[in-house]
């Protein structure tokens, strides 16, 4: 067995590399393998084979594209944070108690079992990827299970490919974790850092024994604001790991922003290399960062999370500016390529002109390779000229500019984003709608059944004509309306059967967007999205949802809520143009949605919901940037919703639990009713919302739709009573946490029955 000792100067350089790569499979092979395994349609062998095939494909592909060094352990069956928690032995007792094998335990942590609720899922920084939140207690017994990184390293080696294992760094792992429920008050996972670092130390020694030359430890938590204590702790971690007698060379990577004060800490530690996001952040100056001149810097100059072709000349200039600041410069993407689709070449239907402006994961890898070659020997490959041509074409393309949209935007006044005072509107709406206290409703989508998805696939493939597709969707809407009437809900929805996704659907109907056929990006576990590409000025050529909504309303006397996606969420879940401020783009999308709200109102729809589940997600990681963001994002929502009359009730829906950061902004949205996620935290946030002075309608979720579990009426009743302690009955709405599209009717029917029953029981107390 070879042993490596870090030796600055003789360690092989990192060259052209990437911090990570997609893993769901170019045709979502892993998604299918997982879902078929869960459904009991295939066994362990098939799942293992699919996983192994995806890893092999990735290593071969990255090598063939010309990278000098290739990462491993970027594959995950479900989530990379869960992988790192398991590697460190952080398996909460409720999962250990199930007595399952390693895979069973892992999947139980990810998805839960009847006896054990899964780990919480939350957003990965400001992306649309969701990770599983490790639970740490004072009693968590950290111990090393190096199986995954070691076996993947060997697997690649057997193919003749030497890789660099990638793991979440210990400091970020704990900063991303939460205290276990039974941990004492005041306990923080970060308090356990020394214990966890001992496990990482053992891991590095184990990897050195395997012959691993480089390891990558990701510390993205340090691209956000950190306390002095957290910064000092980072220094201690890498002093300790760097001081090991036997270890691979260490690359510490951070992304999604500047390292700020964490950079000097790392630069003065004994690690060999630091990975920087130079797309979101900027080139450091060695004079300000003692120690930087002794490090290799992996310069993330190719955007890892958007799909625009790189300006190679500008990127090369950045690399050259960095060269005098560091001992060596390697070239990479700004973050893992997990957040972009695999391959632009798979898109046969994209407009060829637009296609020239784009780069997906494989094209980005090629850009990294071209930049590394240019930096090394000054030779510019033809891709430099191609990039220049594409960029200048994009800058002057008439498709990107719409003078009508521009002049409409220029003509806006503050009045356009302002409604009458809330209290006045509320009276008018109460008279019009005549709803009981604690009105019951849902968030919009009903289960997307196999039949619906197959009908849509057939329609797209031309096997089903438009009329037949419409007939089937209308039949589904009628079914959903009748079901809601039977269940006794007060405010109905049409169920969104016609939507493939709440963002892609709108993008398909707006000017300025392109959509992909195969551009799948993992959102969580086996669930994927195809983010649309917002490339030009946005406008709405024709009404989008009006026919579906009015059809639904024609079937019933109860109010049907119109259902739209808000401008901030449309932006957040698309690949957005980088040639103008986000706020300008948001206002364009807002005007398109505003047109839709006005048309819905004109056809008699009395309640319109404009979903903004991504409002919190885009909140900048650094506090200094937040006020400016909230200004344009809240402004865009108001512009989208202020075109309707007083008697039209505007709802919004936000699904996340970290409410505190944005509660003032939510008031600023000026919606009449806001539904939020609250079931999993058992209404924890409700008192905070009330204490903040929030005085509008609010629907804290009483049914956790992320779990297959069906709540009982008693349970929902208890949640409602708790909410009623803080919120008066005339402002409290009763609804699930989020849409029902990922659930089945077998779960949804009894859950909504319980929800309505509980509302009836609590109403007398609400006066
Ligand atoms: N964009 C977005 N981001 C979001 C959310 C969201 O709803 N949208 N919700 C939050 C949680 N994230 C989620 C992300 C994805 C899904 C989800 O359900 N995705 C579906 C795909 C949805 C979709 O695009 N469906 C298409 C295509 C479906 C499909 O796979 N069709 C088959 C054929 C049909 C079949 O035989 O089933 C195929 O193409 O092979 C459609 O319905 O038309 C999945 O991965 O399975 C849910 C939540 C946060 N972020
Ligand atoms: C992720 S928020 C989802 C809101 C949407 N109206 C739905 O019910 O699916
Ligand atoms: Zn939601």
User: What are phi and psi for residue 339, nearest 5 degrees?
Assistant: -90, 5
C-alpha span between 674 and 699 (Å, rounded): 6
Which residues on neighbouring strands pair with residue 372, listed in sequence order? none
How many Å from the N-terminal Cα to the C-terminal Cα in the chain?
Answer: 76
Question: According to the annotation, is 653 in a ligand binding site?
Answer: yes
C-alpha span between 572 and 614 (Å, rounded): 6
Distance of CA 302 to the CA centre of its chain: 20
- Give residue for tokens 């691993």: 212
Nearest CA to ligand 1 atom 50: 128
User: What are phi and psi for residue 299, nearest 5 degrees?
Assistant: -90, 110
Question: According to the annotation, is 120 in a ligand binding site?
Answer: no
C-alpha span between 435 and 206 (Å, rounded): 65
In angstroms, what is the span from residue 462 Cα to ligand 1's centroid? 20
CB atoms within 10 A of CB 304: 26
- DSSP readout, 430-496? HHHH-PPSS-B---SB----HHHHHHHHHHHTTSS-HHHHHHHHHHHHHHHHHHHHHHT-SSB--B-
C-alpha span between 374 and 301 (Å, rounded): 13
- Dihedral, 561, 563, 568, 569 alpha carbons, nearest 10: 130
Question: According to the annotation, is 570 in a ligand binding site?
Answer: no
Helix (H, G, I), strand (E, B) or coil at 522: strand
CB atoms within 10 A of CB 690: 17
> Which of 738, 741, 743 should be mutated for ligand 2, with most atoms under 8 A from CB?
738
Q: Which of 130, 339, 651, 706 is catalytic?
A: 706
Q: Mean per-residue pLDDT for 207-211?
A: 98
Q: Which residue has the higher pLDDT, 78 or 8?
A: 78
- Give residue for tokens 């919901």: 609
CB 443 near ligand 2, within 6 Å: yes
pLDDT of residue 1: 32
Instruction: Looking at the CA of 444, name the nearest ligand.
Output: 2
pLDDT above 60 for 71: yes
In angstroms, what is the span from residue 358 Cα to ligand 3's centroid? 30
Q: Mean per-residue pLDDT for 734-757?
A: 97
CB atoms within 10 A of CB 45: 8
SS (H, E, C) 189-234: HHHHHHHHHHHHHHHHHHHHHHCCCEEEEECHHHHCCCCHHHHHHH
CB 219 near ligand 2, within 6 Å: no
Nearest CA to ligand 2 atom 9: 739
Residue 45 · residue 37 · CB < 8 Å: no
Tens digit of each residue's pLDDT (9 = 90 or more) over 347-360: 999 999 999 999 99
Residue 624 tokens, joined = 């200094």
In angstroms, what is the span from residue 503 Cα to ligand 2's centroid? 10
Question: According to the annotation, is 527 in a ligand binding site?
Answer: yes
> Which of 121, 444, 610, 701 should be mutated for ligand 2, with most atoms under 8 A from CB?
444
- DSSP readout, 662-718? GHHHHHHT--SEEEE--TTTTTTHHHHHHHTT--SEEEE--S-TTSSPPPPHHHHHH
Distinct helix (H) and strand (E) counts, the chain:
27, 21
Q: Mean per-residue pLDDT for 28-45?
A: 97
- pLDDT band at residue 12 using 50, 70 and 90 as cut-offs: low
Residue 595 tokens, joined = 């047109």
CB 493 near ligand 2, within 6 Å: no
Q: What mean pLDDT value characterizes the chain?
A: 95
CB 563 near ligand 2, within 6 Å: yes
- pLDDT band at residue 180 using 50, 70 and 90 as cut-offs: very high
In angstroms, what is the span from residue 604 Cα to ligand 1's centroid? 31
- DSSP readout, 535-586? EEEEE-SS-SSHHHHHHHHHT-SS-BEEEEE-HHHHHHTSEE-SSS-HHHHH
In angstroms, what is the span from residue 740 Cα to ligand 1's centroid? 13
pLDDT of residue 198: 98
CB atoms within 10 A of CB 275: 28
In angstroms, what is the span from residue 421 Cα to ligand 3's centroid? 27
Our answer to whether residue 143 is catalytic in this structure is no
Q: Which atom of ligand 2 is nearest to the CA of 443?
A: 8
C-alpha span between 723 and 678 (Å, rounded): 10
Percent of the chain with pLDDT over 70: 98
pLDDT of residue 4: 41
C-alpha span between 752 and 755 (Å, rounded): 5
Tens digit of each residue's pLDDT (9 = 90 or more) over 153-165: 999 999 999 999 9
Q: Which atom of ligand 2 is nearest to the CA of 613?
A: 2
364's enclosing H/E stretch is helix 361-377
In angstroms, what is the span from residue 712 Cα to ligand 3's centroid? 21
In angstroms, what is the span from residue 545 Cα to ligand 2's centroid? 15
C-alpha span between 626 and 619 (Å, rounded): 6
- Dihedral, 401, 402, 408, 410 alpha carbons, nearest 10: 20
DSSP secondary structure letter of residue 534: E
- pLDDT band at residue 709 using 50, 70 and 90 as cut-offs: confident
Question: According to the annotation, is 720 in a ligand binding site?
Answer: no
Residue 583 · residue 630 · CB < 8 Å: no
Q: How many CA atoms within 13 Å lie on the side-chain side of 67?
A: 27
Q: Mean per-residue pLDDT for 232-239?
A: 98
Question: According to the annotation, is 443 in a ligand binding site?
Answer: yes
User: What are phi and psi for residue 35, nearest 5 degrees?
Assistant: -65, -35
SS (H, E, C) 137-187: CCCCCCCCCCHHHHHHHHHHHHCCCCEEEEEECHHHHHHCCEECCCCCCCC
Q: Comparing C-alpha atoms, which of 308, 513, 307, 505 is closest to residue 399?
A: 513
- Give residue for tokens 């048309």: 599
CB 502 near ligand 2, within 6 Å: yes
C-alpha span between 505 and 369 (Å, rounded): 36
pLDDT of residue 657: 67
Tens digit of each residue's pLDDT (9 = 90 or more) over 325-353: 999 999 999 999 999 999 999 999 999 99
CB 447 near ligand 2, within 6 Å: no
Question: According to the annotation, is 573 in a ligand binding site?
Answer: yes
- Residues written for the chain: 767
CB 739 near ligand 2, within 6 Å: yes
pLDDT of residue 37: 98
Q: Comparing C-alpha atoms, which of 503, 558, 550, 490 is closest to residue 699?
A: 490
Report yes or no for ipTM above 0.95. Answer: yes
Nearest CA to ligand 2 atom 7: 739
pLDDT of residue 11: 59
Q: Comparing C-alpha atoms, which of 724, 726, 710 is closest to residue 759?
A: 724
Q: Comparing C-alpha atoms, which of 344, 311, 334 is closest to residue 18?
A: 334
Residue 342 · residue 26 · CB < 8 Å: yes
Helix (H, G, I), strand (E, B) or coil at 745: helix
pLDDT of residue 115: 82
Q: Which atom of ligand 2 is nearest to the CA of 741?
A: 9
> Which of 38, 455, 457 should be mutated for ligand 1, with most atoms under 8 A from CB?
457
pLDDT of residue 5: 43
In angstroms, what is the span from residue 418 Cα to ligand 1's centroid? 35
Q: Which atom of ligand 1 is nearest to the CA of 448?
A: 42
Residue ranges near ligand 3 (ion) with Cβ within 5 Å: 613, 655, 738
Residue 130 · residue 261 · CB < 8 Å: no
Q: Mean per-residue pLDDT for 224-241?
A: 98
Question: According to the annotation, is 31 in a ligand binding site?
Answer: yes
Question: According to the annotation, is 29 in a ligand binding site?
Answer: yes
Question: According to the annotation, is 407 in a ligand binding site?
Answer: no
Helix (H, G, I), strand (E, B) or coil at 647: coil
- Give residue for tokens 């009276």: 427
Percent of the chain with pLDDT over 90: 92
CB 736 near ligand 2, within 6 Å: no
Q: Mean per-residue pLDDT for 12-21?
A: 94
Instruction: Looking at the CA of 575, name the nearest ligand.
Output: 1
Residue 137 tokens, joined = 């207690």
In angstroms, what is the span from residue 676 Cα to ligand 2's centroid? 11
In angstroms, what CA-CA distances link 757 with 738, 754, 760?
19, 5, 5
Please give the domain boundaries of the chain with CATH numbers for all domains: 421-447+487-503+548-572+580-766 (3.20.20.210)
Q: Which atom of ligand 1 is nearest to the CA of 742?
A: 18
Tens digit of each residue's pLDDT (9 = 90 or more) over 350-389: 999 999 999 999 999 999 999 999 999 999 999 999 999 9
Instruction: Looking at the CA of 523, name the nearest ligand.
Output: 1
Tens digit of each residue's pLDDT (9 = 90 or more) over 272-325: 999 999 999 999 988 889 999 999 999 999 999 999 999 999 999 999 999 999
> Which of 445, 505, 616 should be mutated for ligand 2, with most atoms under 8 A from CB?
445
* Greatest alpha-carbon span in the chain: 80
Q: Which residues have CB under 6 Å of ligand 1? A: 128, 448, 450, 453-454, 456-457, 500-503, 523, 527-530, 573, 742
Q: Comparing C-alpha atoms, which of 275, 274, 299, 302 is closest to residue 366?
A: 302
pLDDT of residue 7: 43
């Amino acid at each position: 067995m070879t042993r490596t000792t870090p030796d600055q100067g003789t360690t092989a350089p990192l060259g052209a590399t990437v911090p990570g790569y997609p893993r769901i499979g170019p045709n979502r092979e892993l998604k299918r393998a997982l879902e078929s395994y869960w459904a009991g349609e295939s066994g362990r062998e098939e799942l293992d084979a699919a996983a192994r095939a995806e890893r092999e494909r990735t290593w071969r592909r990255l090598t063939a594209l010309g990278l000098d060094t290739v990462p491993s352990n970027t594959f995950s069956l479900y989530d990379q944070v869960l992988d790192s928690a398991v590697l460190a032995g952080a398996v909460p007792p409720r999962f250990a108690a199930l007595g399952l094998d390693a895979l069973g335990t892992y999947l139980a942590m990810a998805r839960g079992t009847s006896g054990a609720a899964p780990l919480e899922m939350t957003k990965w920084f400001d992306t649309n990827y969701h990770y599983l939140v490790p639970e740490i207690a004072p009693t968590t017994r950290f111990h090393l299970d190096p199986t995954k990184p070691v076996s993947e390293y060997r697997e690649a080696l057997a193919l003749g490919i030497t890789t660099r294992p990638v793991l979440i760094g210990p400091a970020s792992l704990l900063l991303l974790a939460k205290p276990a429920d039974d941990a004492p008050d005041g306990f923080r996972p970060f308090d356990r850092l020394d214990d966890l670092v001992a496990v990482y130390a053992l891991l590095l020694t184990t990897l050195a024994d395997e012959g691993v030359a480089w390891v990558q430890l990701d510390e993205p938590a340090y691209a956000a604001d950190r306390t002095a204590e957290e910064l000092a702790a980072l220094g201690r971690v890498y002093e300790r790991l760097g001081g090991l007698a036997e270890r691979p060379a260490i690359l510490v990577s951070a992304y999604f922003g500047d390292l700020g004060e964490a950079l000097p800490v790392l630069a003065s530690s004994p690690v060999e290399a630091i990975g920087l996001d130079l797309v979101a952040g900027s080139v450091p100056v060695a004079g300000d960062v003692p120690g930087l001149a002794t490090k290799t810097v992996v310069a993330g100059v190719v955007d890892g999370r958007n799909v625009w072709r790189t300006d190679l000349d500008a990127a090369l200039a950045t690399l050259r500016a960095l060269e005098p600041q560091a001992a060596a410069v390697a070239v990479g993407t700004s973050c893992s390529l997990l957040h972009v689709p695999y391959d632009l070449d798979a898109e046969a239907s994209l407009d060829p002109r637009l296609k020239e402006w784009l780069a997906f994961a494989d094209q980005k890898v090629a850009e990294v390779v071209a930049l590394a070659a240019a930096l090394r020997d000054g030779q510019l490959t033809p891709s430099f000229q191609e990039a220049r041509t594409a960029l200048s074409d994009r800058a002057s393309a008439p498709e990107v500019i719409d003078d009508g949209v521009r002049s409409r935007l220029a003509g806006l006044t503050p009045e356009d984003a302002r409604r009458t005072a809330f209290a006045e509107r509320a009276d008018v709406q109460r008279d019009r709608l005549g709803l009981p206290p604690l009105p019951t409703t849902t968030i919009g989508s009903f289960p997307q059944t196999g039949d619906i998805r197959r009908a849509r696939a057939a329609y797209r493939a031309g096997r089903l004509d438009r009329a037949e597709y419409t007939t089937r969707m209308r039949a589904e809407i009628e079914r959903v309306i009748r079901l809601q009437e039977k269940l006794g809900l007060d405010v109905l929805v049409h169920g969104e059967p016609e939507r493939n996704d709440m963002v892609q659907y709108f993008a398909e109907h707006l000017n300025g967007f392109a959509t992909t056929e195969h551009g799948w990006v993992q959102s969580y576990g086996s669930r994927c999205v195809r983010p649309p590409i917002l490339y030009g000025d946005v406008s709405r050529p024709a009404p989008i949802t009006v026919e579906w909504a009015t059809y639904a309303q024609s079937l019933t006397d109860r109010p049907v809520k119109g259902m739209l996606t808000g401008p901030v969420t449309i932006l957040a879940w698309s690949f957005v143009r980088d040639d103008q401020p986000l706020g300008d783009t948001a206002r364009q999308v807002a005007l398109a949605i505003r047109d839709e709200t006005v048309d819905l109102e004109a056809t008699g729809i009395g309640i319109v919901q404009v979903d903004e589940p991504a409002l919190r997600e885009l909140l900048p990681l650094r506090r200094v940037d937040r006020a400016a963001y909230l200004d344009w994002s809240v402004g865009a929502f108001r512009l989208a919703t202020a075109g309707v009359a007083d008697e039209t009730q505007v709802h919004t829906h936000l699904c996340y639990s970290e409410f505190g950061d944005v509660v003032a902004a939510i008031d600023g949205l000026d919606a009449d009713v806001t539904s939020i996620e609250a079931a999993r935290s058992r209404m924890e946030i409700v008192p905070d919302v009330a204490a903040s002075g929030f005085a509008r309608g609010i629907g804290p979720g009483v049914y956790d739709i992320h779990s297959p579990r069906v709540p009982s009426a008693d349970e929902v009743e208890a949640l409602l009573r708790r909410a009623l302690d803080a919120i008066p009955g005339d402002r409290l709405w009763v609804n699930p946490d989020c849409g029902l599209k990922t659930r089945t009717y077998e779960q949804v029917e009894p859950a909504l029955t319980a929800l309505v029953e509980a509302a009836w029981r609590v109403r007398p107390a609400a006066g």
